[in-house]
Amino acid sequence: MSGYTKQITSLITEVRNKKPLIHNITNYVTVNDCANIILAIGASPIMADDINEAGDITSISSALVINIGTLNKRTVESMILSGKKANEKGIPVIFDPVGAGASKLRNEVTKTILDEVKINVLRGNLSEIAYIAGLNATTKGVDASEADIESNDSTAVAKKAAVKLGCIVALTGAVDVISDGKNLVTISNGHKMLSDVTGTGCMTTALVGSFCGAERDYFKAAVAGVAVMGIAGELAYEAAGHKGTGSYHIAIIDSISKMDENIFGEKARINEN
């Protein structure tokens, strides 16, 4: 295990010891999964999207996760209010631009959030990150398109987006890429069956938020959150992949609830570039 991986490994214990409160303004398709995944890693979730309390909840939280999977005007206002409150309080903001590039509304909301809120970590797939970076990008709903996967270099896309936004970018795919524009890490964990369960991207973002809530080095926190999800995908397949996607779904949460430094240290395939 490299020294860097060992540092990441210790963050699992850090999250379980600190139990940070993670405020999620997320989509209604995956909200329950995100709450359970946060609990499984040892943090504490709260989902408060009403504008009358969103700012107050953010102010007592350790991290804010914004996810635009199911958009409506009411929650967009809460996202921006909460994001500004987080910036004011020095609370990390993790943004998941689900489906950016797919519709005029998503594109406008993504731009507004990025213009008005300082983002610490941007977590998305190749198509979403390429769109935000200003590159040619197509979209397949909320998934990365095959055309983008074939035509774009994920490391270059992650670096460009990180430089453009001045934040950490966690680009997830067959090989995950984490970059701050200068430093770059790739993660080779995961299983293709993860793409058969809705919300695994949202859950990954929630995990990144959990680690950011316990660790001020958000680059390491992003690596930890993405790697934990990848390892859980592998372990879940070993335990329940043969049963089908429903059992696999639950096995992901089980695997994260059992995640510790030994498992992470043994299974993590993190490469520093």
Q: Which amino acid is at 126?
A: L
218-238 burial string, b = 16+ CB within 10 Å, else e? bbbbbbbbbbbbbbbbbbbbe
Q: Is 47 marked as binding a ligand? A: yes
- Consult the annotation and say whether 172 binds a ligand: yes
**Helices (H), strands (E): how many in the chain?**
12, 9
123 is annotated as contributing to ligand binding: yes
- Closest C-alpha among 212, 50, 29, 220 to residue 119: 212
| DSSP notation for 66-99 | EE-SS--HHHHHHHHHHHHHHHHHT--EEEE-TT
Q: CB burial class (10 A; 0-12, 13-18, 19+) of residue 31?
A: buried
199 labelled as ligand-binding?
A: yes
Binding-site residues from annotation: 47, 123, 172, 199
Question: Binding site membership for ATP: which residues?
Answer: 123, 172
Residue ranges for the known binding site for substrate are 47, 199
